[in-house]
Amino acid sequence: MGLHQNKKLLHCNHMQSGNLTGVSEFLLLGFSEDPELQPLIFGVFLSMYLITVFGNLLIILAVSSDSHLHTPMYFLLANLSFVDICFTSTTVPKMLWNIQTQSKVITFAGCITQMYFFILFTGLDMFLLTVMAYDRFMAICHPLHYMVIMNPWFCGLLVLVCWVLSVLDSLLHTSMVLRLSFCTEVELSHFFCELIQVIKRSCSDTFLNNMVIYFTGMLLAVGPFIGILYSYCKIVSSILGISSAQGKYKAFSTCASHLSVVSLFYCTSLGVYLSSAAPQSSHLGASASVMYTVVTPMLNPFIYSLRNKDIKRALKRFFGKESIKRPTVLGLKKYT
């Protein structure tokens, strides 16, 4: 670690005086510098962004417009959809703007702001997925106490805690970056200001920053993942205890969508971590990041709506294509 830092400091010392402070901008190199590929990249990401926004907005509209979906599970799903819209909007619009204007520049203030909101919404995604796993645990393993425990006040409190933890985590990381110094012409092999990429370009000692990343990662990323695993171990155990095959299917169907989203989010995040740790990764990390920053939020509405009859019914009712029928939101009494 010390040798690496000394090399960075020696490199910076060869720069002109005053280059260590007051860097005003970064260069986002994106996926490719080939001008012929830029229209294709622009079209693909614009399409994915619009699908993400409209898909998640439909989920929010369906849940908010249908009183039968005013349940803990769908309340958390609507919050997840809102966070996914914000999550994607943190990075993609700036990338599209840079392609359109043929500029790779992002100001230092813009970079720090983008980094803050990216960390914030990444944390919210993880925490909300954990709370949703707890909701499924309570619904399937403790159905008689479910509506008593998962009341509106408690659900709102859980979401508030998610926001508070995410804000504090994001403030911690961005404030740690603000103490660093950077050389001029800071280039990032990414399409947004990713925390680790920015820290790697610093001319300061980043040991403390890396320790904070590892510590908070273990606490706020691995911790929720362990909670999700525990919840689903209990859920699987409860489902296996159901006598009828139909009851097992109905019980599993209430959490299959969430399990798919959790698997997609954590598997793609792990892929990004491994690619960033690989030497000479260059644009590999940026390409891998697309999976959980763009693709996962885009797929979530499809995962939650394609096999969810209640969401489909609510959307049809919203657009005036179906008469009002009361759906069986959880169907717990049929298989408990």
> If we measure between CA atoms, which residue out of 263, 159, 188 comes closest to residue 27?
188
| pLDDT value, residue 266 | 86
| pLDDT value, residue 251 | 79
Tokens 């049929």 -> residue: 334
Domains of the chain (ranges, CATH numbers): 25-309 (1.20.1070.10)
**What are the residues facing 106 on neighbouring strands?**
26
What are the phi and psi torsion angles at 66 (to 5°)? Answer: -110, 115
Number of Cβ atoms within 10 Å of the Cβ of 173: 22
What DSSP designation does 35 have?
G
End-to-end CA distance of the chain: 56
- The one-letter amino acid code at 169 reads D
Strand residue runs (E) in the chain: 25-28, 105-107, 186-188
- Cα–Cα distances (Å) from 280 to 40, 207, 275, 283, in that order, read 25, 21, 9, 9
Model-level pTM greater than 0.85? yes
60 HSE (CA, 13 A, CB side): 13
Dihedral over alpha carbons 305, 269, 208, 186 (to 10 degrees)? -100
Note the helical H segments in 142-244. Answer: 143-149, 152-178, 195-200, 207-217, 223-240
> If we measure between CA atoms, which residue out of 75, 227, 91 comes closest to residue 152?
75
What are the phi and psi torsion angles at 174 (to 5°)? Answer: -70, -35
Rounded to an integer, what distance in angstroms lies between the CA atom of residue 84 and that of residue 76? 12
Under 8 Å CB-to-CB from 236, ≥6 apart: which residues? none
Note the helical H segments in 218-329. Answer: 223-240, 245-277, 284-290, 296-306, 309-318
**What are the residues facing 26 on neighbouring strands?**
106, 186
| pLDDT value, residue 324 | 47
Rounded to an integer, what distance in angstroms lies between the CA atom of residue 59 and that of residue 66? 11
| pLDDT value, residue 275 | 63
User: Consecutive 10-residue runs of the chain (336 residues): their mean pLDDT?
Assistant: 47 43 79 86 96 96 91 95 97 94 92 96 95 94 93 97 97 95 81 90 90 91 92 92 82 84 85 63 71 90 84 85 50 38
Rounded to an integer, what distance in angstroms lies between the CA atom of residue 73 and that of residue 47? 29
What are the phi and psi torsion angles at 205 (to 5°)? Answer: -75, 120
